[in-house]
Structure 1
Amino acid sequence: MNCFVSFHDETCLAVGTSKAVIGLQKTLSLLLLSLLTLLGLGLVQPSYGETRYKKFQRQHVDSTEKGGNSSYCKKMMQERGMTKSRCKQFNTFIHEDIGTIKNICKTPKIPCKNGKMNCHEGEVRVTDCRLIAGSRGNCRYQGRGSSRRVVIACKGKLPVHFDK
């Protein structure tokens, strides 16, 4: 049958509709396959329901340790899940209780690196971990402890991103 979708001819309408549905199914299948491929390659990481605040805590807060050295960085980066799919190039752990970090969100707003005006700064004890070698799961870091000024982005009164 060789016709365009017609509202007068139910047969042509049904053929046109079924072709559209098949096309949509193919498109959705390709999108799903692409997402699964990206997940498999580790290029997209699922959040598993983790809020931005919880992710900030996991990646940047360690009030129980003083840190400061390379073995600390290797241990923490692995424990906190930042070496699974690839080695994270740089990360900072803040060695203060979460209340002290939340108080930084009460300081005057300053511009973030991305230009948004939801960043705040404060002085805290930190360990900076810089990747020196390795690959997925076997990452080696150089650690350096200090007290320094940090800039964090906040949403409301909660820290959600380490800016610098």
Structure 2
Amino acid sequence: MQRVFIFGILICLVILALLSLYDIHPIEDDENQITVSVVIDGNSVDVETEPFATIQEVIKDIDLPPNIDYEALNLNQVLFHRDVITLPVITVKQKVSINTASVEDLVDVPGIGPATAEAIVLYRSEIGQFQTLEDLMNVKGIGSKKFEKIKDLICL
């Protein structure tokens, strides 16, 4: 019985020795906050918030530009200390003028390849400038389906 008692005391001492290796102290108030960085258009803002806050909770008090692409974000994503959130912005491409664009500019329009771009420029030089966007369907290689895909990307 005495051996069991001594063995129990030894185990307690070993446990106490192991616990002393860790810096155990009560949680202070500043440890109940996390810091996350929010990057907007290349500029970073540090935000202190509660642990397990979501992106939506963090960005609600930040003055954000109107071109943030919220659909590209998971607003319910839980954040952790030192996380970095990069807020995507909606980029608006300039419309390409079918009356003045070069072959290189026309090729930048999704759905218009080099041959079609050259056909558009050739049409302009032979027939003249386009009077309506729909006139583009007179160019070989541009049917109604292709026109529907590109009509929001072009202008006169």
Short-chain TM bin: under 0.3
Q: TM-score, normalised by structure 2?
A: 0.24
RCO comparison, higher one (Cα < 8 Å, 6+): 1
Larger % of helix: which?
Answer: 2
Q: TM-score, normalised by structure 1?
A: 0.23
Greater Rg, structure 1 or structure 2? 2
